[in-house]
């Protein structure tokens, strides 16, 4: 493998990890208010996406076990308040 191929693979893996963190956060937020995931997505996913667009580092923070809980709480406050 070339350096570029290695870099591409690492970038793709990281992108998949970020997507998994995003999906897990949505599940966690839905479970936190005892709502079915599909209903939560219908009602809150647009706001969730806006928050991540406005603060892109939050997605990285969701992935990091040291900042995950704090980030979920911040997103929760922004969505539900």
pTM of the model: 0.85
pLDDT at 1: 59
Whether 75 and 45 have beta carbons less than 8 Å apart is answered as no
Cβ–Cβ under 8 Å, residues 47 and 79: yes
| pLDDT surpasses 80 at 10 | no
Q: Which residues of 33-68 are buried (b: 16+ CB within 10 A; e: fewer)?
A: eeeeeeebbeebeeebeebbeeeeebbebbbeeeeb
Residue that has been written with the tokens 């406050």 in this structure: 77
The pLDDT score that the predictor gives to residue 4 is: 64
Q: Give 39-49 pLDDT, tens digit per residue.
A: 999 999 999 99
State residue 29's pLDDT score. Answer: 97
How is the chain split into domains, by residue range? 3-80
Gap between the terminal Cα atoms of the chain: 49
Host H or E run for residue 78? helix 68-80
Q: Look at residue 11 and tell me whether its pLDDT is greater than 80.
A: no
Which pLDDT tens digit goes with each residue over 17-72?
A: 999 999 999 999 999 999 999 999 999 999 999 999 999 999 999 999 999 999 99
């Amino acid at each position: 493998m070339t350096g570029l191929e290695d870099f591409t693979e690492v970038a793709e893996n990281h992108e998949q990890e970020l997507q998994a963190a995003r999906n897990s956060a949505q599940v966690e937020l839905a479970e936190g208010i005892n709502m079915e995931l599909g209903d939560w997505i219908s009602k809150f996913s647009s706001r969730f996406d806006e928050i991540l667009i406005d603060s892109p580092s939050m997605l990285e923070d969701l992935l990091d076990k040291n900042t995950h809980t704090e980030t979920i709480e911040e997103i929760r406050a922004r969505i539900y308040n």
